[in-house]
Amino acid sequence: MVLEGIQNSAGKPVLLKMVKAIQDNKDYLSEVDGRIGDGDHGMNMNKGFTLFGEQIADKNISFTQGLHELGTLLFSRIGGSMGPIYGSIFTSMAAAGENVAVIDAAALAAMIDAGLRGLRELVQAEVGDKTLVDTLAPAYEAIRKAVQEGKTLAQALEEMKAAAEQGRDSTKDLVARFGRSSRLGERSRGVLDAGAVSCCIILCTMAEGILEQARLEQPGTVS
């Protein structure tokens, strides 16, 4: 047997892993943002995710319930553009997966697709505009393709992670077309986009957490 996914109801450890990843990278995110932005991306993301971690600490909460709470909190408590952006992504993902019992590769692909569509209702950015879309869209295409090809959960998640990392890295050579950094024009080239970096951290951590939880739920299976 191969790993199939995780129980939605048992997804809290994945959420807490995401919280820790943002906390661990808060200084790096602000450093990246400070090169062409206002330097508060790490601080804002850390504030939101830390509040969320505290909010769910004593709760028995599913993966999609947690994503909804995280998105709602970011909407209401985090300033700037990132609160609404990540709020839209996470609440859209949660809505797409709320009735799913098992988060497998197909379910996660559908959730990420919904998150991307939710984001595009808010920001009309496309791949190449030096935003987190450069991370999120390739990650979705990679997991969608892996599901179509019948690949295992582990294979699908590894391909999603690789695409997210490539998308993140691609922003270094792009010119910003949205947000404060867009005012810099050509001077924004040569620096990673902070949103693309945080999106990559979140997606990769989510993938790693799902794999870890799947192995706990299905001991003795192969990836």
117 lies in some domain: yes
Q: What share of the chain is helix, strand, coil (3-state, %, to 5)?
A: 75, 5, 25
Tell me whether residue 60 is exposed, middle or buried, using C-beta atoms within 10 angstroms of its C-beta: 0 to 12, 13 to 18, 19 or more. exposed
Evaluate whether residue 59 is within a structural domain.
yes
Domain extent, residue 147, equals 6-217
- 1 part of a folded domain: no
Q: What's the CA gap between 112 and 110, in Å, rounded? A: 6
pLDDT (mean) for 194-210: 97
For residue 172, tell me if it sits in a domain.
Answer: yes
> Based on the number of CB atoms within 10 Å of its own CB, is 157 exposed (0-12), middle (13-18) or buried (19 or more)?
buried
Tokens of residue 120, six digits: 């595009």
pLDDT > 90 in the chain, percent: 73
Is residue 202, in this structure, part of any structural domain at all? yes
Q: Is residue 222 part of a domain?
A: no
Please name which of 204, 206, 223, 211 lies closest in space to residue 63, comparing C-alpha atoms: 206
DSSP string covering 41-107, please?
A: HHHHHHHHHHHHHHHHTT----HHHHHHHHHHHHHHH--TTHHHHHHHHHHHHHHHHTT-SEE-HHH
Q: In the chain, pLDDT over 70 holds for what percent of residues?
A: 90
The CATH number assigned to the domain holding 137 equals 1.25.40.340
Q: Model pTM?
A: 0.94
Encode pLDDT of 136-153 as tens digits. 999 999 999 999 999 999
Which H helix or E strand runs over 23? helix 12-24
Q: What is the pLDDT of residues 23-42, one digit of tens each?
A: 999 999 999 988 767 778 99
Residue 165 lies in a domain: yes
pLDDT of residue 87: 96
Other C-beta atoms closer than 10 Å to the C-beta of 110 total 18
How many domains, the chain?
1
Would you say residue 142 lies in a domain?
yes
